[in-house]
Structure 1
């Protein structure tokens, strides 16, 4: 049986270490590539969700703006109708309208006075 030579053992150990280093480097590269691709997929998914949420928010805001505009137009029409009715009432009964205005002014004066 041959005696193991220390230099041969050291050479084999060095070769094994070199192989191990290259394997670890390849594994690191593979893991980095996997993390990058998975991170990219996650970023794409998040971006898609954000775009979807922004589109829904924009649609909701547009709908609310349209509803608000319709309510404004309705209020405007009602105010014009009320103004027309009030004008007609004043024309039919001018003295009563003046007395009613004086009464309302008197009540506001009483309410706004300090104690």
Structure 2
């Protein structure tokens, strides 16, 4: 009688091992699908943040370009006004303008000549 019990116990143990293997396989599949879903969710969150950062960077670049253009236009207007003022001063006093140009040229020559 001892022998049939050992064979029955071995058969039950084999069945239990097969059931355990099937349960572990199901658990592995479940964990893999959970990990995949979490990975996709995390990837979407990162992509969303990257898109938001890109939009903020583009807006900042557009604002900087607008500000740069406004500064350029202001500088251009000031240079034109200064040019007009210099032109008017030369027309009012042409001899003084020539003397000032000669003086500037003389000083520039002194500064650039070799010693």
**TM-score interval, smaller chain:** over 0.9
Cα deviations across residues 46-103 of structure 1 (Å, max 9, x unaligned)?
Answer: 0110000000000000000000000000000000000000000001111110111111
Gaps of 5+ in 1: none
The aligned residue for residue 88 of structure 2 is 88
Gaps of 5+ in 2: none
In the alignment, the residues of structure 2 paired with residue 45 and residue 92 of structure 1 have an alpha-carbon distance, to the nearest angstrom, of 70
In the alignment, the residues of structure 2 paired with residue 80 and residue 53 of structure 1 have an alpha-carbon distance, to the nearest angstrom, of 40
The aligned residue for residue 66 of structure 1 is 66
> How many equivalent pairs are there?
114
In the alignment, the residues of structure 1 paired with residue 79 and residue 102 of structure 2 have an alpha-carbon distance, to the nearest angstrom, of 23
In the alignment, the residues of structure 2 paired with residue 114 and residue 12 of structure 1 have an alpha-carbon distance, to the nearest angstrom, of 108
In the alignment, the residues of structure 2 paired with residue 34 and residue 114 of structure 1 have an alpha-carbon distance, to the nearest angstrom, of 81
Cα deviations across residues 27-61 of structure 1 (Å, max 9, x unaligned)?
Answer: 10110111011111101100110000000000000
Instruction: Extract structure 1 runs of 4+ deviating beyond 3 A.
Output: none
Superposition RMSD on alpha carbons, in Å?
A: 1.1
* Secondary structure of the corresponding residue to residue 5 of structure 1: helix
Q: TM-score, normalised by structure 2?
A: 0.94
List aligned pairs for 1:7-86, cutoff 5 A: 7-86=7-86
Q: TM-score, normalised by structure 1?
A: 0.94
